[in-house]
Amino acid sequence: MNDNKRTLYFMGGTVLAGLLLVGIMYIVNFVQKPETTETEKITVPTSNHKVLQSKIDNLTIDTVTPMVYNSLRAEITTSRDQKMFTPIIATNLLTSLQEKYEELSFIKADRIIGRDPINEDALNPILSHLSSIGANSNRINLYKKKVQQIKYYTITLPAKVNSFIAQSFTDYKSNTYKTLRDEFEKLPNLDASLKNRSSILGMRRICISKLDAYYQAYVKYDMATTITNDDFNN
């Protein structure tokens, strides 16, 4: 009987010791496990690349401006830096923005060039910004060349004509008259797309008329001078 009690006591003590050990281990683990606070929780940013791509796709000739381009580019680079999407996605977005912006801006430039008279105040900022972002330089230079040609035949060359016909008949030079008239008549070095431009054609008609009138007046002056000299000599 005493042996049975001892056995029971021993078994009970062993179980109690085991439970106590498990309890201690649980308490130790619970104390050592750090609690995750709200500030320590890692928040994965939501990717907004589809929204940005949609903004790029929805650009139109009427809405595209250097300011809009710069704003979208800043959104893309900021989102990339905040790891809202991968660098590869950022590169694709920037390429898409560049291509869309160039396409629409060049179409816009074509429309401005096509208007008569040309609005340089509207065209110059577009060309300047396209140049600053590395757009096709040959195409940009072609627009600038067209503008210079338009200005030459509507401003510079007419000024030369006015200067010529304002001088005295005694300073008349037939070579100058012929050069000015031929230049307006043939419109050399003028881009083919500009040869039917009403402002240039209108100025050509006016200036040729001025030159011819001046020439006819000079011929009369020369004839009168010749007759007078002949009479004087006789």
Each residue's pLDDT tens digit in the chain (234 positions)? Answer: 455 555 545 455 554 555 555 455 555 454 454 454 444 444 445 679 999 999 999 999 999 999 999 999 999 999 999 999 999 999 999 999 999 999 999 999 999 999 999 999 999 999 999 999 999 999 999 999 999 999 999 999 999 999 999 999 999 999 999 999 999 999 999 999 999 999 999 999 999 999 999 999 999 999 998 876 555 555
> Would 31 be classed as within a structural domain?
no
Handedness of CA 116, 121, 122, 126 (dihedral sign): positive
Same domain for 152 and 205:
yes
Amino acid at 154: T
Same domain for 167 and 118:
no
Q: How many residues are there in the chain?
A: 234
Give the number of domains in the chain. Answer: 2
- The span from the CA of 110 to the CA of 108, in Å, is 5
Question: What domain range is 106 assigned to?
Answer: 47-135
Same domain for 199 and 127:
no
Q: What is the pTM of this model?
A: 0.74
Same domain for 95 and 153:
no
> Would 37 be classed as within a structural domain?
no
Q: Which of 131, 123, 135 is nearest to 97 (CA)?
A: 135
- The span from the CA of 78 to the CA of 83, in Å, is 9
* End-of-domain residue from the set 135, 167, 191: 135
Q: Give the model's pLDDT for residue 40.
A: 41
Q: Give the model's pLDDT for residue 104.
A: 98
Q: Give the model's pLDDT for residue 6.
A: 53
- The span from the CA of 58 to the CA of 80, in Å, is 21
Cα distance from N-terminal residue to C-terminal residue, the chain: 178
CA dihedral of residues 3, 5, 10, 12 (deg, nearest 10): 160
Q: How many CB atoms lie within 10 A of CB 184?
A: 22
* End-of-domain residue from the set 135, 159, 182: 135
- Here the tokens at position 161 are 């004509």
Q: Which of 225, 163, 211, 221 is nearest to 183 (CA)?
A: 211
Same domain for 166 and 111:
no
Same domain for 156 and 72:
no
SS3 2: helix
Name the packing angle between helices 137-151 and 120-132 (round to 10°): 160
Same domain for 225 and 180:
yes
Q: How many CB atoms lie within 10 A of CB 139?
A: 13
Q: Give the model's pLDDT for residue 42.
A: 43
